[in-house]
Amino acid sequence: MKSRQKKPKLSERPMFETVTSVLYPLLFGAVIFVLWETELLHRMIGTTESILPTPSHIADIIANNPSKLFGNLMMTMLPTLIGLALGSLLGYGVAVLAAMFGRWGAGGLTIVSCFNAIPIVALAPVFNNLIKTVTSDITIRGLTAKVLVIIVMCMSSMSINAYRGLTQLQPFGEDLMATYGADRKTVFLMLRLPNSLPYIFTALKVSLPLSVISSLVSEYFIDTVEGSQSRPGLGRMIRSNILNAQYATAWAYITFACALGVALYIVLMLISKRVLKNRGK
């Protein structure tokens, strides 16, 4: 007689886990939203509507100033994407050198890893002062300084994760390539590079939120040193409105900053799913 397979419990089914992983956060967010909108949250934490505006008040400000908010958003998104791309490329280059030339390449990997310990608040003014001798244009100096800060912040995670992908190969994979007489270039293109793709996206998942935060914090300090710009970024506007006690407007910019990070992360997840679709990772 054939043994009957025991059906998995409802809580052990993949569909149930998928639904609950989405449903629970949504329910929690809905509860917070209701408490916030009805100002019950204000009573719970002991604050007022002027300091913590309701979501409807924030939405009204966004609806009345969409072009201005999107203009400031673009000034933050541009250096974020440029810095993320350049930092990731440089980090991957360091990982390649460390994988191909292990004796001295690992030292470079260690140095790059130490960059992550440098605080953003220290890097931003330093880069801003260094660029003063290159150009007198305030906007270019601010943009370049922000990009440099993001590059330094993003290099570490990419170099470490990419190094793992370049060196932790499938068993006997490198030996098999050697039996075919493959040179270093062929081994890299056919074996190491494809194997490192999942690790690259893992690094980007860490670097992308960090790049957004670095851009916002850099604007906070760089724009303060340089003075006002014709179109400042979100970080500068958040600071300015808080100093002027315009908390509702500041929360509108905070909402856009959060939306920027979430939107970029969703795009990254879609690209990752597309690229790694047939890899089983």
* pLDDT tens-digit readout, 111-150: 887 877 788 888 887 887 777 777 666 667 778 888 999 9
Q: pLDDT confidence of 81, banded at 50, 70, 90?
A: very high
Instruction: Describe the chain by its helix, strand, coil percentages, rounded to 5.
Output: 80, 0, 20
Characterize 43-82 residue by residue with b for buried, 16 or more Cβ atoms within 10 angstroms of its Cβ, and e for exposed. Answer: eeeeeeeeebbbeebbeebbeeeeeebeebbebbbebbbb
Handedness of CA 136, 137, 142, 147 (dihedral sign): negative
Q: Is 181 helix (H, G, I), strand (E, B) or coil?
A: coil
pLDDT > 60? residue 65: yes
Helix 193-226 vs helix 247-275: angle between axes, to the nearest 10 degrees? 160
Neighbouring CB atoms inside 10 A of 202's CB total 19
* pLDDT, mean of residues 19-37: 84
Least confident of 44-58, 96-110, 257-271: 96-110
CA gap 191, 183 in Å, rounded? 11
Looking at residue 279, what is its pLDDT? Answer: 64
> Distance (Å, rounded) from C-alpha 65 to C-alpha 3?
67
Determine whether 277 is exposed, middle or buried from the number of CB atoms within 10 Å of its CB (0-12, 13-18, 19+).
exposed
What pLDDT was estimated at residue 260? 93
> Which of the four pLDDT bands, split at 50, 70 and 90, describes residue 280?
low
Share of the chain above pLDDT 90, in %: 26
Residue carrying structure tokens 């989405």: 22
In single-letter form, the type of residue at position 52 comes to L
Return d(Cα 35, Cα 184) in angstroms, integer. 61
Q: State yes or no: pLDDT of 237 exceeds 80.
A: yes
- In which element (H, E) is residue 116 found? none
pLDDT 10s digits, 169-228: 776 766 666 676 666 777 777 778 888 889 999 999 999 999 999 999 888 776 544 444
